[in-house]
Structures are given as structure tokens and as C-alpha cells.
Amino acid sequence: MKHRKTVRSMALALRCILTGVAILSGCAGQVQNTGQGTSHIENSSTEEVADSLESAFFEYETQEMYAQRDGNQIYGVIYVPKNAGEKMPAVIFSHGFGGNYQVGAQYARALAERGIVAYCFDFCGGSPGSRSDGSTLEMSIFTEQADLEAVIHMMQKLPYVDNSNLFLMGSSQGGAVSAITAAAHKEEIKGAILLYPAFCLVDMTKERFDSVEDIPDTYFALWMTVGRAYAEKLLDYDIYEVIPGYDKDVLMIHGDADDIVPLSYSEHALEVYQSSELKVIPGAGHGFYGEDAELAIGYMLDYLNEHIEGSFGITEAGDNAAETKMQISITAGETTSYAELDNSETAQEFAAMLP
């Protein structure tokens, strides 16, 4: 059995002791709101990525898994870490407009490697190529909320998921859907990670249609055809009145070069949320790739490491399964690094000194 400890005040001392652990300082703008207003914290560079990405501790397996909603099958793929305990934290990833479950794959892999179950799925009618039932002509953020709620209920029934540590994550429209769903299920959802959330949807709809009567049965939006259902409930909807219903900590990550969902929409969300944090990645657009994705993953892991409650069992695979080891995380500034101590006397004496 391993145990995880978070070390903050001793980070610099640990850096000198643990070989190979590098604490990177960095540079994406961070803004935080804790109900006391907003403040700029510090900057970090997109050329430097979180050290937490350098260490992976678990193998994982993937499996196709379906949820059910009103007779519709919802297709998804679940990533399950091996030997990470009987009950594990879990993250549900929701894709954006016209996307699919594969959008979340890079994040799901990173989470599973660190002992966190991840589920990525296709919204019903979420895209022309969706592997879930339903049509794009029937889809709206409200049908997607119902899909996500069905997925939440499915995840809660899985024997290896720790329901007290269930998180939502979504990109673009999936981020907006995750936000309104979290507000409707705040007791069930431990935290929310929103990637360039599309809080602009209401404004975009109002700019296009003056009234419900102006909405045609079908129309082309962005890169696919949608139906009247997509727009008709948005004309008198205020998403910024809904999302503050989730009063737990929210992490938003947004690029300052996003030309589809301007950064200003996340900045506004920062003002209305009761407790939220905004990480800004310089030069990143609508979607994270390469070093931008690595930086975003580092932010996700830091957030999850801070918000997952309790310790979840980690069993060493292989011949050394009976050997007791300790996995620790070292946080300095905005970066978390991971290291493992063996069961030598020196290591155990050192571990006993940790807070």
C-alpha cells in the first residue's frame, strides 16, 4: 500500500534531497476568485510544463461503456487504472460542439496514469459522427445536460469509483454543459474543470435570432447543421445566473488567442462564481495541443491533487507488491512534482519528518 502526501512548505528542501525532481516556475497568467474579488497571482512560461507530467505510476485499461437516457444509448470509453485501489477518484469529460469522445483522450490518459478513473463519451446528436444515439437536429445544451446526468448516475454505480471524489471536466460547449450540470448537482460533484467553456452560446444565439419565431427548423451553425431545439431555449437564458449555483471550487483554463470563445467570457465567469480560478495560456487558441496541452494537464493535476479528499489505495504491481512504498507530491508555486520513496530506513525516517 502506498500513501500520498502533499508537501508545500518544504518544497525547496525536498528539491535538494530527491534526485531528479525539478520544480519548474512558469508563466501562464493565473487569476483567482475566492469570493473576495479577483487578483493576479503570477506568470509562467508555456515553454515550461508541469513536472507532474514526467512521472506516470499506473498502467490502465480501456473499455467501451454505455449509459442510457430516455431510450438513447450514450457511447463512451472508460479508462481504469490498474492496482490503484478498490475505490478511485473519477473524472467525466464532456466534448464540445461537433466533437466526440476522442477529444478528451489525451486528458483521460494522463489522469488514468495517475490513478484516476476517466470517462469520455459522445453526446447524443453531438456531432454527425457521434457513436451515441440521437440527431444533431435534436441536440441542445439541455439535452446534453440530460446526457451528462445519465453518465453521472452510471459512474456512481461502478464499484471502483469513489463517489465522494467525482469531478466534471469539459471543453468548449462541453465546458458550459459541465458548468450548468455541476450547478444542478453540487452535492454530487466534487469539482469542475472547464476548458475554454462556451459561455458565449447565449450571445451568439441572440445575435443571430431576435425571437423564437425567427428560428428555422434547421440551420447551419459553425460547422454542422442543428435544429430549432438548439436555439429556442437560449434566447431567454442567462447562463451566468445559473452557474454560480455551484459554490465549490472551479478551475477554468483558457487561451488568450481563442477566436471562437473569447477569453472575456471566462473572465466574466470568474466574477460570478463564488470560488474559482482562471489559468490563462498565452497564445493558445480554441483547443490545447502540444505544450499548451501539457501545461493544461499540469494545471488539472494540481487542482485534482488539491481537491481529492482522503487517500486512495495504491498497490505496487509485480513481484514487489508486498513492499510498502510512499508516493509524495511536491508543490512549489503552481507546479507539482511527484516522487516515490522506498522502504529503506533512511527514506522512512525522512518520510516521518513530512507534514
pLDDT in tens, 253-284: 999 999 999 999 999 999 999 999 999 999 99
Angstrom distance (rounded) from CA 246 to CA 347: 42
Helix axes 141-156, 173-184, angle to 10 degrees: 60
Question: What does the pLDDT read at residue 310?
Answer: 75
**Which residues does residue 88 pair with via DSSP β-bridges, in sequence order?**
161
Which parts of the chain fold into alpha helices (H)? 11-17, 105-112, 141-156, 173-184, 201-208, 228-232, 239-242, 263-272, 290-307, 345-352
**Which residues does residue 328 pair with via DSSP β-bridges, in sequence order?**
5, 339
Question: What does the pLDDT read at residue 37?
Answer: 38
Taking the domains of the chain in order of start, what are their residue ranges? 27-311
Question: What does the pLDDT read at residue 56?
Answer: 52
Question: What does the pLDDT read at residue 353?
Answer: 52
Question: What does the pLDDT read at residue 223?
Answer: 87
Question: What does the pLDDT read at residue 148?
Answer: 98
Closest CA to 331 of 84, 40, 25, 44: 25
Angstrom distance (rounded) from CA 189 to CA 171: 17
Which parts of 157-225 fold into alpha helices (H)? 173-184, 201-208
Residues present in the chain in total: 355
Is residue 141 within 8 A of residue 108, CB to CB? The reply is no
Question: What does the pLDDT read at residue 265?
Answer: 98
Angstrom distance (rounded) from CA 291 to CA 297: 10
Residue 164 parent element (H or E): strand 161-171
C-alpha dihedral (6, 12, 18, 24), degrees to nearest 10: 90
Long-range residue pairs from 65-68, CB within 8 A, at least 24 positions apart, any chain: 65/119, 65/154, 67/121, 67/147, 67/150, 67/151, 67/153, 67/154, 68/150, 68/154
Residues of the chain with pLDDT under 70: 1-56, 311-355
Q: Domain 27-311 belongs to what topology?
A: Rossmann fold (3.40.50)
**Which residues does residue 336 pair with via DSSP β-bridges, in sequence order?**
331
β-pair type (276-281, 161-171): unpaired
pTM of the entire predicted model: 0.76
Closest CA to 298 of 252, 335, 323: 335
Angstrom distance (rounded) from CA 178 to CA 198: 11
Angstrom distance (rounded) from CA 179 to CA 255: 18
Is residue 92 within 8 A of residue 117, CB to CB? The reply is no
Question: What does the pLDDT read at residue 207?
Answer: 95
